[in-house]
Amino acid sequence: MAAWVKGGATDADAAVMAAARLLSSAHAPVFAGLNAEVAAIRAAYDLAGRIGASVDTAGGDATYADLGALARVGAMQAPPAEVAGRADAVLVVGEAPLKSPLVERLRGTKPVRGRAAGAERSIHHLRSNQDLAVQIAHLRAHARGHMTSDAGMAETARAMASALYGAVLYDPGELGTLGIEMLQGLAMDLNESTRCFALSVSDGTQDRAALQVAAWTTGQATRVGFGRRVPEQDPWRFDADRQARAGEADAALWLASLPTPRPTWLKTLPTVALVGADAAPDLAEVVIRVGEPGRETGGVLWNEGRAGLSYRAPEQGADLPTAADIIARIAAAVAGRGAVAGRSAVANSEDA
Amino acid sequence: MLIRIQGGRVVDPTAGRDAVGDVWVEDGRIVAPPSDRKPDQTLDAAGCVVMAGGVEVHSHIAGGNVVTSRLLLPELYVSEAAPEGHPFAHAGGAAGWIGATYARMGYTTAVEPAMPPVHALATQLELADIPLLDRGALTVLGNDDHLLQILRDGEGRAAVRDLVALNVATSRGLGVKCINAGGASAFKDGALKLSLDDEIPCYGLSTRKIMGALLDAVEEIGVPHPLHVHCNNLGLPGADDSLVATLDAAEGRRIHFAHAQFYAYGVSDPENPMTGGFRSAARRIVDAMMTNPQASLDIGQVVFGQTVTVSLDILRQFGGRKGAKPKKWVLNAGDAEGGGVVPFLYRPKGPTSSLQWAIGLEIMLLSGDPERTILTTDHPNGGPFTQYPRIIHLLMDKEARDREIATLPGIVKERSEIATIEREYTFSEIAQLTRSGPAKLLGLDDRGHLRAGGRADIAIYRDDPDRTAMFTAAKFVLKDGHVIVEDGQVVDWRAGRSLALTVESDRAMERRTETYLQDRYGQGLDSFAVPEAAFATDKPVFEDVACRT
Ligand SMILES: [Zn+2]
């Protein structure tokens, strides 16, 4: 196993002890990234709950763009295989979704299930040359018959309204909460007379896996803090970048067993980094190389094509610890230090 | 270790037992009283009622819709500071809280009734994080294109059986459920309403045909739990016709009706069936059950207050979306069933909610067989499961019932019989409603009773005339012979197991399904699997439950 403390190579035990020391002596530790397999995400929430850390994810801004709209109006949505199998009209909003392999697939196929089966599929595009939220508002007004001024908009609105099964693809990070709210409103309007569903294209992080784990583990979404011993969700307060910039955080755990763009604050805060193949001695104060899920170790990951979780067996055998193992060892070391008195029992124990 | 539970009132209707005595436990099992050995541990049950651990058959405690409901309405549950030993046990609505709250109430097994096979892994991962309880999930079928194709093409019983078996095996289900069979498919093709014999667009099928095929498949596979059926037309006036017609369509085959309260709505004004409201059809439903001993139901009792409804019945959730309070909802038109999450307020003292409240109690109070009349709130659809102690209180105490009825609008007395029913449930009947009945229904012979050989899942309650207090926080709860709750507090954060049927799947159907899935998703059966390795633990997660032979 490769591990480094302050740039010097060391063994697993020493790195785990250093990590436990670093995290348990902090007043306001932040756990960030969480671009990892479900077991590691789960272990991270558990440790955060025990030491009073706050948690954020690599795709937090996009995730909360969707959640912001969800909290206000809800959603009307469908998964990718349903859109590919049923949609006779697709509206792509903005530029980011064009990078999704789904758009390619939609262009090359026809609906095969349901009442639109066999029909041609029309694909429409709303360009982001103006504010997308404003454009969707205009489109919605055209769909409702409140506006007729823009011929292109009117044409798109007509196409979606006359479709048997419409779908609207968007990227939450690009569109933002207000735009998503407007887009969901459009889908809801269209369902008064036909079927139309929104589809949020993921940014490639494990945020959607983390969102599920967070919800069943804490009852809340991903950005939660445990400083007051109850999970408190606050998308602004527990934004890890903001906390680091504002000097509120005094230590961090960076969890990225999958390749992830690194935040700029990684070297400015005392940090424990659990990372995959891109591990390097000077990445953070404590660096532990962990297996990359689905490649070097097994793990449950977000499956974009199915919009759900799937187990991925390792492609090759690798003698590397999983991130979940390392976090569990850090947790045990933290408990052993008695850093948080009376909170040392291990949940889900099954003694004989 | 030999444990003696001493001097409690032992209530086990399966053994005709209701008297003060002892229960002995060794190695996780209930044992006959040993003639010549001293116990290693004695639990004083004097002044207490001793029952088997509670068994939940229908509570939405895991899965995509439950996750969505937490994101849509995070303020529904209050979180408190965590107790010793588990960081999330007081995180309202979370898995740790669910396990702890059930365990404190004396429940030791809980079943999530709606696991879509496409998301089985997520549901099973979430269930495995519920501490203290054994848990399981029912595999939902009845709207998936692959099944509907096989039925449309008239491929016959063996093909349906093999596909059902493959789905149960892959998802590691404990039983099979159908939810408004064909309804989600019809919704995607524009339908807004569906009854038993309406045609499902594009397939030329009906709910009757789909459900009938699933009823047969469940019997042929030997699934211990009968097909768990969520009928058409939930919550509409005249839904009693749907339930009775569905029972007739079962033609004598075993069938379980989910949340029957939501169907016990007779049309109040035959001249205006959809606008004249409803009246209680509790007696009609109970009579139908009494003449069909192969059928059972759970209640779906309504309790007053804010909740969030979660259901894979997307047709019904779409129909109910405009009643959302607060005004937001999520509809997910998923790969087969999808689902809908609609916040809802059962208005305290409101005429409709009051009548619903009365009808649920009425079904239980009129029932001639509490073992086939299982207490649920369809958590969280009728209200949270945390209200079971209060519901038990109302069943056991006519005066408490009268006091509550007196605060409700007159419609309760006009349109239901609730006020005229004198019956008070006994402890034995409560045990049938919450222990022996659900255990038998799930086909779990090792629980729901206190006979020798049974699993030592045991609840010990202080006998308190305030039945709400009594059943909210047990004095002791044992899981597999270990004391997990003492004086209403969790003292041992053990993990239970996930109960899953052992089902053989047919190789030819596996190959055929692989081809189908690759074509539809670009991914095969592998991506739907629920392997032990996914749980990243060296402890066993699952426990096998055998099919009937
Ligand atoms: Zn239900």
Q: Give the per-residue pLDDT at B82.
A: 65
Distance, in Å, from the CA atom of B171 to the CA atom of B138, rounded to the nearest integer, reads 9
Choose the mutation target among B27, B76, B79 for the interface with A, i.e. most A CBs under 10 Å: B79
> What does the longest C-alpha to C-alpha distance in chain B come to?
74
Give the amino acid at B355.
Answer: L
ipTM above 0.90, yes or no: yes
Q: Does B309 fall in a domain?
A: yes
Does A341 have pLDDT greater than 50? no
CB atoms within 10 A of CB B204: 11
> Quick one: closest CA in B to A222, which residue?
B71
- On whether the CB atoms of residues A100 and A201 are closer than 8 A, the answer is yes
Choose the mutation target among B68, B69, B80, B88 for the interface with A, i.e. most A CBs under 10 Å: B88
Q: Does B127 fall in a domain?
A: yes
Distance, in Å, from the CA atom of B296 to the CA atom of B224, rounded to the nearest integer, reads 14
Q: What is the pLDDT of residues B379-422, one digit of tens each?
A: 999 999 999 999 999 999 999 999 999 999 999 999 999 999 99
Q: Which residues of chain A have a CB within 8 Å of the CB of B318?
A: 191
- In chain B, % of residues over pLDDT 90: 94
Residues 6+ apart with CB under 8 A from A297: A37, A290, A291, A314, A318, A320, A322
Q: Does B190 fall in a domain?
A: yes
Does A347 have pLDDT greater than 80? no
Distance, in Å, from the CA atom of B502 to the CA atom of B505, rounded to the nearest integer, reads 10
Per-residue pLDDT, averaged over A231-245, amounts to 95
- Report the residue from A73, A85, A305 with minimal CB separation from B523: A305
- Report the residue from A70, A113, A322 with minimal CB separation from B72: A70
Q: What is the pLDDT of residues B301-325, one digit of tens each?
A: 999 999 999 999 999 999 999 999 9
Can you say whether the dihedral through the CA atoms of B250, B255, B258, B259 is positive or negative? Answer: positive
Report which of B526, B503, B528 is spatially closest to residue B121, judged by C-alpha positions: B528
Q: Does B486 fall in a domain?
A: no
- Give the number of C-alpha atoms closer than 13 A to the C-alpha of residue A21, restricted to the C-beta side: 9
pLDDT-derived band at B298, boundaries 50, 70, 90: very high
Q: How far is the CA of B259 from the centre of ligand 1 (A)?
A: 7
Classify each residue of A229-258 as buried b or exposed e, where b means 16 or more C-beta atoms within 10 Å of its C-beta.
bbbbbebeebbbbebbeeeebebbbbbbbb
Domains of chain A, residue spans: 3-59+205-351, 64-200
CB contact under 8 A, B202 and A113: yes
Q: Does B67 fall in a domain?
A: no
Does B86 have pLDDT greater than 60? yes
Per-residue pLDDT, averaged over B255-269, amounts to 96
- Coil, helix or strand for B499? strand
Looking at residue B304, the DSSP 8-state letter turns out to be S
CB contact under 8 A, A212 and B67: yes
Omega cis (within 30) before B380 = yes
Q: Which residues of chain B have a CB within 8 Å of the CB of A306?
A: 118, 335, 521, 523, 527
pLDDT-derived band at B90, boundaries 50, 70, 90: confident
Q: The domain spanning residue B212 has which CATH number?
A: 3.20.20
Q: How far is the CA of A261 from the centre of ligand 1 (A)?
A: 42
For A191, A192, B59, B523, the CA distances from B182, given in Å and listed in that order, are 19, 21, 23, 25
Q: Which residues of chain A have a CB within 8 Å of the CB of B112?
A: none
**Which CATH class for the A3-59+205-351 domain?**
alpha beta
Per-residue pLDDT, averaged over A65-76, amounts to 96
Choose the mutation target among B123, B189, B497 for the interface with A, i.e. most A CBs under 10 Å: B189
Per-residue pLDDT, averaged over B25-52, amounts to 97
Residues 6+ apart with CB under 8 A from A130: none
Q: What is the pLDDT of residues B97-148, one digit of tens each?
A: 999 999 999 999 999 999 999 999 999 999 999 999 999 999 999 999 999 9
Q: Which residues of chain B have a CB within 8 Å of the CB of A191?
A: 318
- Where is average pLDDT lowest: A34-43, A202-211, B80-89? B80-89
Q: What is the pLDDT of residues B223-234, one digit of tens each?
A: 999 999 999 999
Q: Does B81 fall in a domain?
A: no
Choose the mutation target among B65, B148, B335 for the interface with A, i.e. most A CBs under 10 Å: B335
- Coil, helix or strand for B110? strand
Distance, in Å, from the CA atom of B355 to the CA atom of B363, rounded to the nearest integer, reads 12
pLDDT-derived band at A351, boundaries 50, 70, 90: very low
Q: Give the per-residue pLDDT at B248.
A: 97
Q: Give the per-residue pLDDT at B155.
A: 96
Distance, in Å, from the CA atom of B419 to the CA atom of B408, rounded to the nearest integer, reads 11
In this structure, what token pair is assigned to residue B37?
């050995």
A6 Cα to chain B: minimum distance (Å): 30
Q: Does B270 fall in a domain?
A: yes
- On whether the CB atoms of residues B71 and A224 are closer than 8 A, the answer is no
Q: Give the per-residue pLDDT at B320.
A: 93
Indicate the average pLDDT of chain A: 93
Q: Which residues of chain A have a CB within 8 Å of the CB of B125?
A: 38, 300, 309
Per-residue pLDDT, averaged over B531-545, amounts to 95
Does A349 have pLDDT greater than 50? no
Residue B429: burial class (beta carbons within 10 Å; 0-12, 13-18, 19+) = buried
Indicate the average pLDDT of chain B: 96
Looking at residue B155, the DSSP 8-state letter turns out to be -
Total number of domains in chain B: 1
Q: Does B360 fall in a domain?
A: yes
A324 Cα to chain B: minimum distance (Å): 8
Distance, in Å, from the CA atom of A152 to the CA atom of B160, rounded to the nearest integer, reads 49
φ and ψ at A321, to 5 degrees? -75, 155
A127 Cα to chain B: minimum distance (Å): 26
CB contact under 8 A, A220 and B201: no
Looking at residue B417, the DSSP 8-state letter turns out to be S
**Angle between the A60-73 and A172-190 helix axes, to the nearest 10 degrees?**
20
Can you say whether the dihedral through the CA atoms of A290, A296, A302, A305 is positive or negative? Answer: positive
Q: Give the per-residue pLDDT at A41.
A: 98
Report which of B147, B85, B142, B65 is spatially closest to residue B343, judged by C-alpha positions: B65
Q: How does DSSP assign A68-89, residue by residue?
A: HHHHHHEEEE--HHHHHHH-SE
Q: What is the pLDDT of residues A307-319, one digit of tens each?
A: 999 999 999 888 9
> Quick one: closest CA in A to B204, which residue?
A114
Q: Give the per-residue pLDDT at B37.
A: 94
- In chain B, % of residues over pLDDT 70: 99
Q: How does DSSP assign B199-264, residue by residue?
A: PBTTTTB-HHHHHHHHHHHHHHHT-SSPPEEE-SSTTSTTHHHHHHHHHHHTTTS-EEESSGGGG-
